[in-house]
Amino acid sequence: MRIGELARRTGITERALRYYEEQGLLRPERRPSGYRVYGDADVAAVRRIRILLAAGLSTAQITQVLPCMLDDDGLLAPLCPELVSALVEHRAKIDEAIDELAATRANLDVIISAEARPT
Amino acid sequence: MRIGELARRTGITERALRYYEEQGLLRPERRPSGYRVYGDADVAAVRRIRILLAAGLSTAQITQVLPCMLDDDGLLAPLCPELVSALVEHRAKIDEAIDELAATRANLDVIISAEARPT
DNA sequence: CTAAACCTTCACGTCGACGTGAGAGTCAAG
DNA sequence: CTTGACTCTCACGTCGACGTGAAGGTTTAG
C-alpha cells in the first residue's frame, strides 16, 4: 500500500509517517516514481511506534528498541535485555518527573494557602 | 545597582534579567549610556519571579500575577482573587500532568512485565 | 591615558515530533 | 488529453526560557 492508505489504517498523518522513516523507524520500499510502498507488517509497526511514543520514549530510543520487539497480538514483548534496562531506566525518569511536579505543586500550595495567613 | 550586581545578588544570569525585562517582569531605569539601573526592591522581585517560575508558571502568567503579590519576609501572599484562581487552575494542570505521567508509567510497566509472559 | 571590567543591542541556537504550505511529479479513469 | 486524486521533496514554523557569541560603547581604577 502507499502512504495514504497506511495513514488511514493507522490514523497517523502522512507527515508523521515520513518523519518516522526519516528517523529510521520505518523503511518502506520505493517505486521508480519515488512513491513509498508499505507492507501489512508496517501497520503493526506503526502501532508499536505509537505505543512507545506514548510511553514517553524518543524516536532515537525507539530506533534502538524496535528490532528487539516481538509483535504478539498487538501486545509488545521486549526481547533484548538492553531493551528492558532501557525501559526500566526510562521508568525511573518518569518517576523523577512526577516527583518534580509534586514538588512544584507543593510550592504552589504554599503560595495559595498563604492567602489565609495573618497579615 | 547595575545588572552585574543584581545578577550576583540573585544568582540569575544577566541574560535572564534582560529577558525578564523583555517580558515586562522588570522595569529598570536607564542611565544616559543605556545602562540599566535597578533598585534594592528588584532583588526581591527577582526572587518572586523565580518562585513563580519554579511553580511552573510562564512569564506571561507571571506578568499578570506579579502586581498582585505582596512581599512578606521572602514569602509570597496572593492578593487578587484572580491570582488565586489562576494558581488553583495551574495546580489542576499539574495534577493532570502527573496523571498523564502515571498513565505513561503504567504503559511502560505493561511492556516491561510482558517479558515474563509465556511466549 | 589606558586597559580591564562592565555594559549595550542584535540575533541565531536549543530540544522534538511533527504542522503546514510551496512547487512539482505520478497515475488511473473518462 | 485532461482532470483530479495522490505523492514527492524541500524547508520554515511551533513552544519557552534562556545560552552564546558578535561587534561595539561606557566606566573606572591606577
Residue A11's domain is classified under what CATH number? 1.10.1660.10
pLDDT given at position B116: 55
Shortest distance between the Cα of A33 and any Cα of chain B, in A, equals 39
How far is residue B95's CA from residue A101's CA, in Å, rounded to a whole number? 8
Residues spanned by the domain of A71: 1-79
Residues A58 and A95 in one domain: no
A47 compared with A75, residue with greater pLDDT = A47
Residues A63 and A107 in one domain: no
B27: left (phi over 0), alpha (psi -120 to 50) or beta: beta
Residues of chain B with pLDDT > 90, as a percent, come to 48
pLDDT band at A71 (very low <50, low <70, confident <90, very high): low
- Run of H or E including B3: helix B3-10
How far is residue A118's CA from residue A115's CA, in Å, rounded to a whole number? 8
Residues A74 and A116 in one domain: no
Residues of chain B with pLDDT under 50: 73-74
Residues B29 and B7 in one domain: yes
The number of folded domains in chain B is 2
**Strand D positions within 7 A of protein Cβ atoms:** 6-9, 11, 16-20, 25-27
Comparing C-alpha atoms, which of A52, A81, A49, A59 is closest to residue A68? A81
Per-residue pLDDT for A76 more than 80?
no
- Separation between the CA of A118 and the C1’ of D12 (whole angstroms): 54
pLDDT given at position A106: 87
Residues B6 and B30 in one domain: yes
Residue B36: phi and psi, rounded to 5, are: -80, 140
DSSP reduced 3-state for B71: strand
What grid cell was written down for B11? 544568582
Where does residue A114 rank: exposed (0-12), middle (13-18), buried (19+ CB within 10 A)?
A: middle
User: Which residues 31-70 of A are in CB contact (within 8 Å) with B?
Assistant: 51, 54-56, 70
What digits encode the pLDDT tens for the residues A1-35? Answer: 999 999 999 999 999 999 999 999 999 999 999 99
Look up the pTM and report it. Answer: 0.81
How far is residue A48's CA from residue A36's CA, in Å, rounded to a whole number? 20
Q: Where are the alpha helices (DSSP H) in chain A?
A: 3-10, 14-22, 41-54, 59-65, 81-113
What digits encode the pLDDT tens for the residues A79-108? Answer: 677 778 878 888 998 998 899 899 888 888
pLDDT given at position A74: 46
How far is residue B87's CA from residue B28's CA, in Å, rounded to a whole number? 27
Residues A3 and A29 in one domain: yes
Residues A29 and A67 in one domain: yes
> Which amino acid does the sequence have at B15?
R
Contacts of B109 in chain A (CB under 8 A): 91
SS3 content of chain B, % helix, strand, coil (to 5): 65, 10, 25
pLDDT given at position B56: 87
Residues of chain A with pLDDT > 90, as a percent, come to 47
What grid cell was written down for A112? 495559595
Per-residue pLDDT for A65 more than 90?
no
DSSP string, B35-65: -EE--THHHHHHHHHHHHHHTT--HHHHHHH
Average pLDDT, chain A: 86
